[in-house]
């Protein structure tokens, strides 16, 4: 079983400073004691990035869309992206760890809000977060894989969003230099199997493309309940059905030695002790394949599994 710690995010550390500097007067005129309400942007039906959103290798940014309202007046809105990484990032790569503060005193025009505004709508290309081009927030090539997008807000009386009041959505950046994962025996995104029998998984895991690609360094394949899983929560594996090779730079996990090859055949490596024998009876699951290279670039692929 993989042992993972909690994500220690740059964004979290900045929030501690943010809240510590809040107004101590909790009973001023107009203070209702409630934190600002974070919701969808006007005329939108979801946040962007949405939870589980996967950005294709051809994209260079994430859309940032949400709104904040507070009848007492909004003081600040903090928007961040962050991820977990073990050790130093290799030369030429950067993590998309970003923190931006919307306020009436912001020095960048796209972050300025009216002093004491009751409603702020964020839905503009200028607030999108780029990892390439003239508006990129980083200098090197972005490390591919999972990131957490977080929104928190505070009103003029120091009431701040906490816990479930905040927005925390995980999204995934895909790049061509990250490992390539191809599952070839699914039908419309689903593999069919039989309870009590080994699941047949066909396809390959290969090194990425170009000079930025690194050797395969860590492979993690697991079966989890459908649509109920977290990349950093090992307790969600169904019946201990997981197989691990190599050592990760993104999570505290390691497994059997990984063969020094450029491509792995899924049908061959998921044999013997690594077979995914489905639980008896009917069930709906997700097969999650996490492929990571020596630089820490991750490609994560999820395939639905229907057992009958």
Distances (CA, A) of 114 to 77, 110, 145, 236: 12, 12, 36, 44
pLDDT, tens digit, 9 for 90 and up, residues 274-302: 999 999 999 999 999 999 999 999 999 99
Would you kindly state where each structural domain of the chain is located, as residue ranges?
Answer: 10-173, 180-307
**Residue 26 predicted with pLDDT over 90:** no
Give the pLDDT score at 41: 98
Q: Tell me the pLDDT tens digit for each residue of 132-170.
A: 999 999 999 999 999 999 999 999 999 999 999 999 999
CATH architecture of the domain formed by 10-173: Sandwich (2.60)
Concatenated DSSP letters of 241-261: EEEEEEB-SSSS-B-BPPPS-
Q: State the average pLDDT over residues 190-217.
A: 97
Same fold, 10-173 and 180-307: yes
Q: What is the pTM of this model?
A: 0.88
The CATH number, out of the four listed (3.90.1150.10, 3.40.50.2020, 1.20.200.10, 2.60.40.10), of the domain defined by the range 180-307: 2.60.40.10
Higher pLDDT: 7 or 177? It is: 177
Mean pLDDT, to the nearest integer, of 246-264? 95
Mean pLDDT of all residues in 173-186 = 98
Q: What is the pLDDT confidence band of residue 231, given thresholds at 50, 70 and 90?
A: confident
| Predicted local distance difference test score (pLDDT) of residue 226 | 87
pLDDT band, residue 20 (cuts 50/70/90): very low
With beta carbons less than 8 A apart as the criterion, state whether 46 and 125 touch.
no
**Average pLDDT over the chain, rounded to an integer:** 90
Residue 230, pLDDT > 80, answer: no
For 72-121, the pLDDT digits (tens) are 999 999 999 999 999 999 999 999 999 999 999 999 999 999 999 999 99
* pLDDT of res. 234: 61
Per-residue confidence (pLDDT) for residue 227, from 0 to 100: 74
Stated as kind and residue range, the H or E segment containing 302 is: strand 298-307
């Amino acid at each position: 079983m993989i042992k993972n710690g909690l994500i220690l995010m740059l964004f979290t550390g900045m929030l501690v400073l943010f809240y510590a500097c809040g107004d101590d007067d909790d009973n001023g005129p107009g203070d209702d004691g409630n934190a600002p309400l974070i919701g969808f942007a006007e005329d939108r039906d979801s946040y962007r990035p949405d939870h589980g959103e996967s950005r294709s290798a051809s994209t260079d940014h994430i859309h940032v869309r949400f709104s904040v309202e507070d009848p007492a007046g909004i003081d600040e809105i903090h928007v961040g992206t962050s991820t977990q990484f073990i050790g130093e990032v290799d030369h030429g790569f950067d993590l998309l760890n970003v923190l931006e503060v919307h306020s009436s005193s912001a020095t960048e025009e796209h972050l300025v809000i009216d002093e004491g505004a009751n409603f702020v709508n964020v839905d503009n290309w200028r607030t999108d977060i780029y990892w390439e081009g003239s508006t990129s927030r980083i200098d090197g090539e972005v490390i591919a894989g999972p990131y957490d997008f977080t929104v928190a807000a505070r009103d003029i009386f120091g009431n701040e969003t906490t816990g479930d009041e905040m927005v925390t959505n995980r999204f995934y950046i895909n790049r061509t230099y990250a490992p390539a994962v191809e599952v070839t025996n699914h039908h419309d995104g689903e593999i069919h199997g039989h309870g009590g029998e080994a699941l047949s998984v066909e396809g390959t895991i290969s090194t990425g493309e170009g000079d930025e690609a690194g050797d395969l360094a860590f492979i993690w394949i697991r079966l989890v309940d459908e649509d109920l899983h977290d990349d950093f929560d090992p307790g969600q594996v169904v019946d201990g059905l997981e197989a691990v090779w190599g050592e990760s730079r993104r999570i505290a996990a390691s497994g059997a030695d990984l063969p020094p090859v450029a491509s792995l055949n899924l049908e061959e490596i998921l044999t013997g002790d690594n077979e995914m024998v489905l639980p008896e009876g009917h069930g709906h699951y997700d097969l999650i394949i996490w492929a990571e290279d020596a630089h820490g670039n991750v490609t994560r692929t999820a395939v639905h599994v229907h057992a009958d």
